[in-house]
Every structure is written in structure tokens, then in C-alpha cells.
Amino acid sequence: MTRQASHVDLRLDNRPTATRELRAAVERVAEACGLDPGERFDLKLAATEAVTNALKGTPESHTVEVTVAGHEDAVEVEVVDQGVFSPVRAALHRGPDAESGRGIPIILALVDELEFAQTGRGTRVRMSKRAAAAGEGPSSFGYGDSVSPRDLARRSLRDRSYR
């Protein structure tokens, strides 16, 4: 079955309605692309985490550009912020008892692909979630066993004593 691709562009600012608008857009596109309710929940949570981090501590006038693009059996969410962010630097400065800094591991656990990039406009976070085919099992990452991205991230969190 071929599904109609969808596309939503948002400009979100630091107001309480921003995450509600984001989640509604992700839900519409993800449902149209055939993601099941659990997959849609995971993508909404991951996208909300990325947008919340981009807006954290900014004035109301600060905007973040979000694109939610549906493809035949996958949804891509792109968040572009005007700031500069380094996931490596953030990980190095986070201790096991830190109150924040768990966003990247959470996003990794919820999506199939994740990319960070510095652009001329700032930081771009791009994530993708695919609809699981009927009977499809976890992906293989070449570690001698099959493991899903979610399980891989959970193992990483457990092994690094994040609690």
C-alpha cells in the first residue's frame, strides 16, 4: 500500500503551546505514514525533547524551525536552532548525578536514526522513525547479536550508571 507523503513546517517559540503544536504535527504526519501508536509516541517524545532543549532558557522571541516530513513508511523530524551545540562536549561535562543531560540518550532510545550538524544557521538535529513492517524484528548492529536502537541506548544508559 502506498501512503501519501506529508509535510509540516513550524516556527516555534518559547511559549507553553510550542510542544503541543509540535506533538500535534508529528501525530498527524506519523499516523498518515503508518506508524503505530507506540512508534508515534516515541517520535513525539524524542521531538519534544529536541525542541525543549533548543528553547531552554531562551526569550519568547527566540524561534526554532521544525520540519516534520512524512515519507512512505518513515517520518523525519528536523529541528534547527540558532545556537551552537556539541553533543560530545555536553556528554563530557555531564556527571552521573547530573539533573539534566539525558536528552540525547533518550532520543537515541526512541528513534531509528539521529544526526547532529552545525549549519550556517546554527544547530540541526534530524531524527527519523520508520514504521515496523509486520513481523519485523530488531536491527542488527554487527555486535554478534541482534539489538534494537532502543535496547542499545538502554544498555548504554545502564552501563554508564545514568539513573
Of residues 153 and 84, which shows the higher confidence score?
A: 84
User: For 25, phi and psi rounded to 5 degrees?
Assistant: -65, -45
Distance CA 97, CA 71 (A): 39
pLDDT, tens digit, 9 for 90 and up, residues 99-120: 556 788 899 999 999 998 888 8
pLDDT at position 101 is: 62
- For the chain, domain boundaries: 7-132+140-159
Fold annotation for 7-132+140-159: Heat Shock Protein 90 (3.30.565)
- Buried b / exposed e over 89-105, threshold 16 CB at 10 Å, is eeeeebeeeeeeeebbb
Q: Contact 141/152 with Cβ under 8 angstroms?
A: yes
Beta carbons within 8 Å of 55's beta carbon, 6+ residues apart: 12, 13, 14, 18, 62, 64
What does pLDDT average to over the chain? 78
Q: What is the pTM (predicted TM-score) of this model?
A: 0.74
Q: What is the pLDDT of residues 7-16, one digit of tens each?
A: 999 999 988 8
Is 24:31 a contact under the CB 8 Å cutoff? no
